[in-house]
Amino acid sequence: MLSTARMLCRGLSRPVSLNASKLTVVHFVAPTRAMAQEAKTNLASRLTRRGPSLKERAMGPATDSAFNMGRIAVAGGSVLGVGALCFYGLGLSNEPGAIDRAAYWPEYVKQRVHHTYMYFAGSTAIAVASAAAVMRSPRAMSLVARGTIPAMLCSVAAMIGTQILVRSIPYEPGVNMKHLAWALHAGVLGAVFAPLSFLGGAILTRAAWYTAGVVGGLSTVAMCAPSDKFLYMGGPLAAGLGVVFAASVGTWFLPPSTALGAGLYSISVYGGLLLISAFLLYDTQKIVRRAETHPAYSPVPFDPINQSIHIFIDTANIFVRIAMMLAGNPNRRK
């Protein structure tokens, strides 16, 4: 009994061994060091981590944000146009418009406006006939449908060149070189726009009806509004045209599947539609103003062909952009 008690007391009073103390330190210190090292590693990775560069964001995959913003802008412009049509069409403006003064126009002013819109209708008919002829010719279609940069530059040069040619020839009554150049210009535009047939007949038919509605509505607004209401927009419209033209050229190099390409495509299509619609208001009032103010006995006759080219080009651009808008997101087309 006594020996057992002594052995028990010696066992309880024995100091902790070295191995036990080392084990205790390892269990408590090693996790602490590991946590500190992990914290340092996370802090270093956060400090050295950087987001995607501007180039990576611009060339990244496109989303629907740019297209949705474009649709919202067009919807807002449509609401504004309908509101302006109701306001001026109902005669709520305090100033008279061209439609109010038309009853007091001299006969030569009426003839000038009438001839201008007759040439506009003729340009539209020639362009449609030219596009139909190109679509029925596989060889001609292959020439105008090439998506290469030289082919696009040639198309732009042909449109601008024929327009300059028409404007440079003085107007004279009767069929002459001016009329031939006018028909050539309309035919070139019809041929250039012929590849739109790839979008499908249903889309083009809807685009034609929508274009007729837009052009008719905007022309009515311009005729009912005060005569100088939209004539002050020339400078801002020219600046906006430069932006839209630059965006259109940018789409030749950047596909809409990239973020930057999608933004440029939206500016060209949706922004261009709003801009050209504003141009139609401006050009319509400009035609009426020139028809009213051009001297009746001037040695230089009033040129209805040059005046009709403005609204013809506006209408053609509106039709193209409406067709592209109805086609939807180009990244989702089959």
Highest mean pLDDT range out of 87-96, 147-156, 163-172, 230-239?
163-172
- Nearest residue to 197 (alpha-carbon basis) of 137, 150, 256: 137
* pTM as predicted: 0.77
Phi-psi region of 200 (alpha: psi -120 to 50; beta: other; left: phi over 0): left
**Other C-beta atoms lying within 10 Å of the C-beta of residue 317:** 21
What pLDDT is recorded for position 79?
A: 82
pLDDT tens-place string over residues 90-139: 666 777 777 777 778 888 888 999 999 999 999 999 999 999 999 888 88
Predicted confidence at residue 21, as pLDDT, reads: 45
Query: What distances in angstroms separate CA 143 from CA 204, 297, 331, one per listed residue?
Result: 21, 47, 25
Residue 245, pLDDT score: 84
CA distances from 126 to 69, 187, 312 (A): 36, 6, 11
Residue 28 in this model has a pLDDT that exceeds 60: no
Mean pLDDT of 321-332: 79
pLDDT of residue 254: 76
> Would you give the distance in Å from CA 224 to the centre of its chain?
28
pLDDT at 310 over 80: yes
How does the average pLDDT of the chain come out, rounded? Answer: 78
Residue 35: pLDDT band with limits 50, 70, 90: low
Q: Which of 314, 288, 273 is nearest to 229 (CA)?
A: 288
Residues 85, 91, 96, 98: is their CA dihedral positive or negative? positive
Kind plus residue range of the DSSP H or E element containing 50? none
Comparison of pLDDT for 36 and 214, the residue scoring more: 214
Q: What is the pLDDT of residue 16?
A: 44
Q: Which of 107-121, 144-158, 260-274, 293-307 has the highest mean pLDDT?
A: 107-121
Q: How confident is the model at residue 61 (pLDDT cuts 50, 70, 90)?
A: low
